[in-house]
Structure 1
Amino acid sequence: MKKILFFLVCGLLWSTVLSAQQTRYMVFEFIKVENDQLFDYIEFKELMEKVYRQARNDDQIVGWDFWSLQSGADQGSFQYIMVTHYDDPVKMMSGLDDQKMQEYTKIAYPHLNESQVEKLFQEALAMRDMPMRLYMKEIVTTSDNFQMKPGVLASFDLMKANEGKFDAYERAEMEVFKPIHQRNIEKGLMGHWSFLRTALPLGSEAKSTHLTLNMYKDYMQFFNAQAYEDIEQTEEQRKRVNEGLNSRDQKWVYLATLENVVR
């Protein structure tokens, strides 16, 4: 009996540790580039993919995505979203400083000398602006085997929990909306869904508190999902969905296409 109890306790502890290890933290950087510099920036993001791949090989990050915006609250504000994935909140907040990025650039491009690397970064920093950066912690995600590759679509939905309904909204996403998205994935209407909370303390004037990430393999799947109506949903389920919707304000929705990815 003692051995059984021992193994049960060990199993629970291991499950807790494993769950903690799998928690993902993400930095979302919304990028604005002037129109006359878009071509140069396209070249720069190709370089960045190689640099972030070196950071991934060095276990500094878990992954990196570069998205091109198709639509949003104000298309003139941003053209791209860059997402860097971490497995540790300290790594996320520390980020990759310029010195580290230059070191990885030297590894990725051994034919460039130090002055060339420095010049490349100064030009890149001058051509883009990041008016919005979000530090997020993934709370829950669907069970799927979605393949991240260039061409997939994503809807970045920025949410703000209504005053006094923070916990109610999170419960709604986890207990009501996640099962709906999981069923949609099993029906081939979606590829992946995840729910994220801001990782930094925010005041009442914060523009958003959460983010949902909805991924689709292509436009066909995306439009099929928009046209689908779940006629099997019960009256009680519809009531819970409406309560969940009323617990938050959907601030912005950005539709984007994946252009570069590191995993």
Structure 2
Amino acid sequence: MKKLVLFLVFGLLMAGTIRAQQTQYMVFDFIKVENDQIFDYIEFKDLMEKVYRQALNDKKIKGWDFWSLQSGADQSAFQYIMITYFDDPVEMMNGMDESAMIEYTKIAYPHLNDAQVANLFSNALAIRDTPMRLYMKEIVGTNDDFQMKPGVLASFDLMKAYEGKFDAYEKAEMEVFKPIHQSRIEQGLMGHWSFLRTALPLGSEAKSTHLTMNMYKDYMQFFNAQAYEDMSQTAEQQKKVTEGLNSRDQKWVYLATLENVVR
């Protein structure tokens, strides 16, 4: 009996450790490319997919996405969103410097010599700008088996919790909005939802404090979700939804299509 109790305690501890290890940390790079250099950058992002795949094989990252912006606050500011996934906040902050990326490029393209790789990167870096970068930690997500593949849609909703309502807003997302999104997933109206907290930048002048990611397998699912109205909500549930909405300012919503993915 004592051995059984010890075994159960050990199992619970291991489960807690595994859940802690599954916390995702993400770097969002909002990328701007001049219109006359779009085709050059398309070639570069395809090269980057091969580079980040080498980084995944080396366990430096957990994944990488490249999204093309369909709509947002100001599309002239940037046209793409690149997300790099990590399972450790230190690795997230360290990221991958240029020397590491060059080494992975050499592995992905063994036929290129050192000079060719260096020239490739210098030309690529010259055609793009990163006007905004966010460091995020995933707080909670839905239970689903959504498959990330080119062509899926996502809306990235940047939020800013009102002063004094930070905790109330997070509680609302976790206890009120997550069940709503989980229900939509179970009804086939959504693929995945997750709630993220901004790690950097910090402070009252930061443009956002949180972000939600809403994933859809295609435009049909996306538009069905927009048209759906839950008529089964009770008055108490509607009150909690309203309170949650009033605890934050929805700064921007960006709709994007996944073009490249590494998992």
Superposed pair shares fold, TM > 0.5: yes
Which amino acid in the other structure matches residue 177 of structure 1?
A: F
Measured on the aligned residues, the alpha-carbon RMSD in Å equals: 0.9
Distance 2:143 2:44 in 1: 34
Distance 2:4 2:53 in 1: 45
Task: Encode CA deviations 1:211-246: one digit per residue, 9 max, x unaligned.
Answer: 000000000000000000000111110000000000
The residue that corresponds to 1:249 in the other structure is 249
Secondary structure at 1:199's aligned position in 2?
strand
TM-superposed deviation, 1:201: 6.4
The residue that corresponds to 1:150 in the other structure is 150
The residue that corresponds to 2:75 in the other structure is 75
Distance 2:189 2:100 in 1: 41
- Gap runs ≥5 in structure 2: none
TM-score of the aligned structures, taking structure 1 as reference length: 0.98
Retained in 1: the 8 A contact 2:135–2:201? no
Retained in 1: the 8 A contact 2:134–2:201? no
TM-superposed deviation, 1:98: 0.5
Task: Encode CA deviations 1:36-77: one digit per residue, 9 max, x unaligned.
Answer: 100100000000000000000000001000000000000111
The residue that corresponds to 1:236 in the other structure is 236
Distance 2:205 2:198 in 1: 14
Distance 1:200 1:224 in 2: 34
Secondary structure at 2:200's aligned position in 1?
coil
Secondary structure at 1:256's aligned position in 2?
strand
TM-score of the aligned structures, taking structure 2 as reference length: 0.98
Which amino acid in the other structure matches residue 185 of structure 1?
A: I
Which amino acid in the other structure matches residue 105 of structure 1?
A: T
Identity of aligned residues (%): 80
The residue that corresponds to 2:196 in the other structure is 196
The residue that corresponds to 1:165 in the other structure is 165
Distance 1:202 1:48 in 2: 29
The residue that corresponds to 2:55 in the other structure is 55
TM-superposed deviation, 1:2: 3.2
Which amino acid in the other structure matches residue 225 of structure 1?
A: A
The residue that corresponds to 1:91 in the other structure is 91
For 1:84-163, what aligned pairs fall within 5 Å after superposition?
84-163=84-163
Secondary structure at 1:99's aligned position in 2?
helix
The residue that corresponds to 2:40 in the other structure is 40
The residue that corresponds to 1:182 in the other structure is 182
- Gap runs ≥5 in structure 1: none
Distance 1:205 1:110 in 2: 46
Distance 1:65 1:249 in 2: 27
Which amino acid in the other structure matches residue 210 of structure 1?
A: H
